[in-house]
């Protein structure tokens, strides 16, 4: 039973068909299309002068399931598998490959009977079984891919990543926390201008608390401490908190983009029109 | 003339008669004799017990060999399953409602607080006993052949036990769980290849909106989708996966020589490998 299912006995025989004398042996259809070589009783074996026609009328297993089936069926001399296998196989069998006698020494393992008719039947059965199994494998693969894709929704119901926060004149010096709970940002202003800190601790992503009396941001999760401009100076945080891109729209309102972030070292990339800060 | 018409002929069967009856025999296929053979039959003919060996060496069950840790862990899993199903009767996995349901369970539902605490403490205990079980197996060298396969099943079970604990953390939707899951899933950003901030992640085009963390949370932030996903993984998916692995685990314990003691003798021809293929 196990031998029946195992396509091995058939496979080594397959690459052999290419005619020895031909300069460009047709890659007679990788593994899954054994018809020409193995089936001695096939109605019309390809003549040596012609490139092997793609095994017509025979069940073709889906290509992706079989690695070596990826070799194109067209008679390409450059096809890697054909280039490797064919010459060796051709040298091994100088006789006419359609002759079953030539095949007899080849399959020493069980599975392919020596008698031509039976070998044909068995080969057909194997091909059919391969076809079914490849179909099952293909369906399972498709299902797994779909299962994975299922977990990535297209639409999200999350706060906008780009929004307006009013005019620069709405904000005085210091830290404004009015957008902390809805947008997870702090609007800050210093002598340089107005900037927006993304309220995400650079350690592991909690929201630090703004302690107005101490003039500090403190993270409740692991104790990172930041100064009024979001620069870390205590705790495990590795770097200052990031800042959001700020721009002025046509009406002079400030547009914040929480997906365009500036890390430390780029905090000066701003100016009158915006960037890491707006000079106001 | 005292004998008149016969009364109702039906009378309740005695216990002895019941045991001779068809119903009893259909349920219990054998007698209750205290014979070695009958005791074996009791194990072999029971779907739950038949995963275990019918007989083992009396020394094999000594507690200083096994600590009983695997059995205790499984017992805690049963406790968690039962109390967890009970909690599900009151819990809505949606933002706002989830926390209210926990408060409801703790302060109003009869035995609600007791059930919740049982679930919580059993969960803590199961993590501990799982580690202790693993520790014992390591000390007694029970990970060695032919038990190496079962050791790997056990490692998977440890992983799923931890995942059960982690996914359950978010469900009360309180500050503790919310920030714990925030931290935990932020670590997933650093996953190699599949995380938006891990090695090769950005180069492969992963962002906060398509990486592995996104798949865990169902979004880019810990929100309603994350709560629902944690609930499904915690209450349905992981328990099923873990149960299947447990069945394999228990079966292999028996097949690999029972809970302690030397490994069983295997005939070489029965093992997979070159010898088997030749034959």
Cis peptide leading into B146, omega within 30 of 0? yes
Which residue in A151, A218, A239 has the most chain B C-beta atoms within 10 A of its own C-beta, making it the best mutation to test that interface? A151
| B232 at interface of A, judged by CB pairs closer than 8 A | no
Q: Are residues A137 and A214 located together in one domain of the fold? A: no
The confidence score (pLDDT) of residue B232 equals 97
CA distance A149 to chain B (A): 9
Average pLDDT value for chain A: 73
| Rounded (to 5) percent helix, strand, coil in chain A | 30, 20, 55
Which residue in B195, B208, B209 has the most chain A C-beta atoms within 10 A of its own C-beta, making it the best mutation to test that interface? B209
Distance CA A197, CA A171 (A): 14
Q: Are residues A109 and A50 located together in one domain of the fold? A: yes
Distance CA A37, CA B99 (A): 70
Whether A205 and B183 lie within 8 Å, measured CB to CB: yes
Whether B210 and A152 lie within 8 Å, measured CB to CB: yes
Does B53 or B89 have the greater pLDDT score? B89
**Per-residue tokens: A27:** 């890659």
The confidence score (pLDDT) of residue A18 equals 45
Return the residue of B nearest to A150 by Cα: B215
What would the pLDDT profile of A194-247 be if each residue is shown by its tens digit?
A: 999 999 999 999 999 999 999 999 999 999 999 999 999 999 999 999 999 999
Question: Of A151, A207, A146, A219, nearest to B226 (Cα)?
Answer: A151
**Per-residue tokens: A160:** 């906008």
The confidence score (pLDDT) of residue B222 equals 93
Residues with Cβ < 8 Å from B73, sequence gap 6 or more?
B126, B129, B130, B133
Q: Are residues A200 and A236 located together in one domain of the fold? A: yes
In A, which residues are within 8 Å of B209 by CB distance? 156
Least confident of A132-141, B134-143, B192-201, B264-273: B264-273
Q: Select, from the ranges A111-115, A261-265, B30-34, B46-50, the one with the highest average predicted confidence (pLDDT).
A: A261-265
Which of A92, A115, A143 delimits the end of a domain? A143
Q: Are residues A116 and A6 located together in one domain of the fold? A: yes
Q: Are residues A166 and A108 located together in one domain of the fold? A: no
Which of A143, A174, A199 delimits the end of a domain? A143
Q: Are residues A131 and A168 located together in one domain of the fold? A: no
Distance CA A175, CA A28 (A): 74
The confidence score (pLDDT) of residue B273 equals 62
Residues with Cβ < 8 Å from A98, sequence gap 6 or more?
A17, A40, A45
Whether B179 and A152 lie within 8 Å, measured CB to CB: no
Average pLDDT over residues A13-32: 44
In B, which residues are within 8 Å of A205 by CB distance? 182-183, 186
DSSP state of B61: G
The confidence score (pLDDT) of residue A280 equals 80
Q: Are residues A139 and A170 located together in one domain of the fold? A: no
CB atoms within 10 A of CB A118: 11
Q: Quick one: pLDDT band at residue A89, thresholds 50, 70, 90?
A: very low
The confidence score (pLDDT) of residue A47 equals 46
pLDDT > 90: percent of chain A: 48
| B194 at interface of A, judged by CB pairs closer than 8 A | no
- Give exposure, A234-273, as e/b (b: 16+ Cβ within 10 Å): ebebeebbbbbbbbbeeeeebebbbeeebeeeebeebeee
The confidence score (pLDDT) of residue A85 equals 46
| A221 at interface of B, judged by CB pairs closer than 8 A | yes
Q: Quick one: pLDDT band at residue A75, thresholds 50, 70, 90?
A: very low
What would the pLDDT profile of A127-186 be if each residue is shown by its tens digit?
A: 888 899 999 999 999 999 999 999 999 999 999 999 999 999 999 999 999 999 999 999
Does B202 or A48 have the greater pLDDT score? B202
Q: Are residues A260 and A134 located together in one domain of the fold? A: no
Distance CA A275, CA B3 (A): 112
The confidence score (pLDDT) of residue B155 equals 97
Whether A153 and B225 lie within 8 Å, measured CB to CB: yes
pLDDT above 80 (res B231): yes
Evaluate whether residue A149 is within a structural domain.
no
Q: Are residues A112 and A190 located together in one domain of the fold? A: no
Evaluate whether residue A135 is within a structural domain.
yes
In three-state secondary structure terms, B13 is coil
Residue tagged 């803590």 (tokens): B124
Question: Of B134, B138, B142, nearest to B158 (Cα)?
Answer: B134
CA end-to-end distance (rounded Å), chain A: 82
Residue tagged 């950005």 (tokens): B202
Distance CA A133, CA A120 (A): 20
Whether A221 and B183 lie within 8 Å, measured CB to CB: yes
In A, which residues are within 8 Å of B230 by CB distance? none
Whether A151 and B215 lie within 8 Å, measured CB to CB: yes
In A, which residues are within 8 Å of B186 by CB distance? 204-205
Whether B183 and A204 lie within 8 Å, measured CB to CB: yes
Q: Are residues A183 and A120 located together in one domain of the fold? A: no
pLDDT above 50 (res B279): no
Q: Quick one: pLDDT band at residue B136, thresholds 50, 70, 90?
A: very high
Evaluate whether residue A157 is within a structural domain.
no
Q: Are residues A121 and A23 located together in one domain of the fold? A: yes
Average pLDDT over residues B258-273: 72
pLDDT above 90 (res B92): yes
Question: Of A245, A87, A278, nearest to A170 (Cα)?
Answer: A278
The confidence score (pLDDT) of residue B112 equals 96
How far, in whole angstroms, is CA A172 from its chain's centroid?
Answer: 49
pLDDT above 80 (res B163): yes
Distance CA A161, CA A7 (A): 55
Distance CA A34, CA A124 (A): 9
Evaluate whether residue A155 is within a structural domain.
no
DSSP state of A212: T
Which residue in B94, B182, B208, B226 has the most chain A C-beta atoms within 10 A of its own C-beta, making it the best mutation to test that interface? B182
pTM score, whole prediction: 0.71
**Per-residue tokens: B150:** 């079962």
pLDDT above 60 (res B199): yes
pLDDT > 70: percent of chain B: 94
Does B32 or B204 have the greater pLDDT score? B204
The confidence score (pLDDT) of residue B256 equals 85
Domains, chain B, with CATH or none = 64-258 (1.20.810.10)
Phi, psi angle pair for A135, to nearest 5°: -60, -45
In A, which residues are within 8 Å of B227 by CB distance? none
Number of domains in chain A: 2
Whether B186 and A204 lie within 8 Å, measured CB to CB: yes
CA distance A239 to chain B (A): 15
What CATH number is given to the structural domain containing A234? Answer: 2.102.10.10
pLDDT above 90 (res A117): no
pLDDT above 80 (res A68): no
Strand order of the β-sheet with A232-234 is A209-211, A216-218, A225-226, A232-234
DSSP state of A64: G
Evaluate whether residue A151 is within a structural domain.
no
The confidence score (pLDDT) of residue B6 equals 63
| B148 at interface of A, judged by CB pairs closer than 8 A | no
Whether B225 and A205 lie within 8 Å, measured CB to CB: no
Evaluate whether residue A150 is within a structural domain.
no
Does A88 or B44 have the greater pLDDT score? B44
Evaluate whether residue A148 is within a structural domain.
no
Return the residue of B nearest to A220 by Cα: B179
CA distance A13 to chain B (A): 21
pLDDT > 90: percent of chain B: 63
Residues with Cβ < 8 Å from B143, sequence gap 6 or more?
B137, B151
**Where are any strands of DSSP class E within chain A?**
162-167, 174-176, 185-189, 194-198, 209-211, 216-218, 225-226, 232-234, 243-248, 253-262, 274-275
CA distance B210 to chain A (A): 7
The domain in which residue A139 lies consists of 2-143
| B225 at interface of A, judged by CB pairs closer than 8 A | yes
Distance CA A22, CA A28 (A): 13
In B, which residues are within 8 Å of A158 by CB distance? 219-221, 223
Q: Are residues A139 and A171 located together in one domain of the fold? A: no
Least confident of A9-23, A161-175, B127-141: A9-23
Evaluate whether residue A280 is within a structural domain.
no
| A149 at interface of B, judged by CB pairs closer than 8 A | no
Which of A143, A176, A192 delimits the end of a domain? A143
Whether B214 and A152 lie within 8 Å, measured CB to CB: yes
């Amino acid at each position: 039973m196990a031998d029946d299912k195992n396509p091995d006995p058939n496979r080594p025989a397959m690459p052999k068909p290419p005619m020895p004398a031909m300069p460009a042996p047709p890659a007679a259809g990788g593994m899954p299309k054994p018809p020409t070589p193995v089936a001695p009783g096939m109605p019309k074996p390809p003549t040596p002068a012609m490139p092997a026609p793609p095994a017509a009328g025979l069940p073709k297993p889906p290509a992706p399931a079989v690695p070596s089936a990826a070799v194109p069926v067209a008679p390409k001399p450059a096809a890697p598998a054909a280039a490797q296998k064919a010459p060796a196989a051709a040298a091994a069998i100088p006789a006419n490959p359609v002759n079953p006698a030539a095949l007899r020494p080849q399959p020493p393992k069980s599975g392919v009977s020596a008698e031509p008719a039976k070998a044909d039947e068995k080969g057909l059965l194997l091909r059919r079984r391969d076809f079914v199994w490849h179909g099952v494998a293909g369906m399972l693969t498709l299902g797994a891919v779909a299962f994975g894709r299922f977990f990535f929704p297209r639409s999200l119901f999350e706060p906008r990543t780009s929004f307006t926060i009013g005019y620069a004149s709405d904000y005085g010096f210091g830290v404004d926390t009015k957008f902390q709970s809805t947008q997870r940002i702090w609007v800050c202003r210093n002598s340089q201008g107005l900037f927006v800190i993304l309220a995400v601790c650079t350690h592991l992503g909690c929201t630090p608390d703004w302690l107005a009396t101490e003039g500090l941001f403190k993270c409740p999760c692991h104790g990172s401490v930041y100064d009024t401009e979001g620069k870390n100076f205590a705790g495990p945080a590795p770097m200052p908190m990031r800042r959001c891109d700020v721009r002025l729209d046509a009406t002079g309102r400030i547009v914040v983009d929480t997906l365009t972030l500036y890390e430390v070292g780029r905090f000066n990339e701003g100016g009158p029109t915006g960037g890491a800060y707006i000079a106001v | 003339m005292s004998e008149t018409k016969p009364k109702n002929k039906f009378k309740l069967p005695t216990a002895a008669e019941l045991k001779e009856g068809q119903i009893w025999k259909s349920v219990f296929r054998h007698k209750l004799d205290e014979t070695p053979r009958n005791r074996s039959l009791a194990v072999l003919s029971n779907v739950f017990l038949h995963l275990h060996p019918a007989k083992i060496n009396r020394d094999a069950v000594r507690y200083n060999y096994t600590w009983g840790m695997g059995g205790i862990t499984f017992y805690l899993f049963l406790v968690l399953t039962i109390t967890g199903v009970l909690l599900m009767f009151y819990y809505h996995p949606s933002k706002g409602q989830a926390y209210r349901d926990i408060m409801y369970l703790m302060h109003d539902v009869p035995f609600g607080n007791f059930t919740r605490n049982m679930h919580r403490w059993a969960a803590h205990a199961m993590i501990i006993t799982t580690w202790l079980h693993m520790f014992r197996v390591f000390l007694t060298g029970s990970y060695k052949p032919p038990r190496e396969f079962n050791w790997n099943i056990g490692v998977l079970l440890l992983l799923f036990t931890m995942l059960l604990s982690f996914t359950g953390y978010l469900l009360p939707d309180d500050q503790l769980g919310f920030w714990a899951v925030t931290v935990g899933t932020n670590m997933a950003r650093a996953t190699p290849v599949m995380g938006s901030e891990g090695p090769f992640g950005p180069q492969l085009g992963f962002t906060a909106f398509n990486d592995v963390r996104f798949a865990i949370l169902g979004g880019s932030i810990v929100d309603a989708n994350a709560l629902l996903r944690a609930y499904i993984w915690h209450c349905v998916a992981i328990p099923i996966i873990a149960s299947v692995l447990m069945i394999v685990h228990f079966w292999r314990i028996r097949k690999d020589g029972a809970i302690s003691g030397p490994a069983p003798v295997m005939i070489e021809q029965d093992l997979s490998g070159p010898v088997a293929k030749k034959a």
